[in-house]
Amino acid sequence: MATLRVHVVPNANSNCVVGEHGGALKIKLRAPAVEGKANAALVRFLADQMKLPRYAIVLQSGQISRDKLVRIDGLSEEEIRRRCRAVSLGGGARRGSTQSHASGR
């Protein structure tokens, strides 16, 4: 079990990891910050990117804030950092993007 500090930017054009913000992992999400939709989208996004079941991702604090503390069960802190780096550097970071990334457009 390990914890991860996250800074969420709701209402974005795509779901993606964009780097760091004040020592926290900065994640853009398409979901709005209304009625827990962004929190649910964050749990789905992290579970998908970390290749874990959703129940392994627990929002410990920050339910109504952009700054959140997430507990991730089943991975060490070192493994979480490795996977976060891979997500932010790799092509798997963007999901649900509506933008075209093809050259010439």
Q: What is the C-alpha to C-alpha distance for residues 10 and 28, in angstroms, rounded to an integer? A: 6
Kindly state whether residue 103 falls inside one of the protein's structural domains: no
Q: What is the C-alpha to C-alpha distance for residues 99 and 14, in angstroms, rounded to an integer? A: 8
CA torsion angle 1 51 17 30 (round to 10): -110
Kindly state whether residue 78 falls inside one of the protein's structural domains: yes
Kindly state whether residue 104 falls inside one of the protein's structural domains: no
Kindly state whether residue 98 falls inside one of the protein's structural domains: no
User: Cβ(56)–Cβ(76) under 8 Å?
Assistant: no
Kindly state whether residue 80 falls inside one of the protein's structural domains: yes
Kindly state whether residue 101 falls inside one of the protein's structural domains: no
Beta-bridge partners for 20 = 25
Kindly state whether residue 23 falls inside one of the protein's structural domains: yes
The CATH number that applies at residue 72 is 3.30.1200.10
For the chain, the domain total comes to 1
Kindly state whether residue 56 falls inside one of the protein's structural domains: yes
Average pLDDT for runs of 10 along the chain of length 105: 94 92 93 96 95 96 96 90 77 42 36
pLDDT score, position 86: 80
Quote the pTM value: 0.81
Residue 84 domain boundaries:
2-91
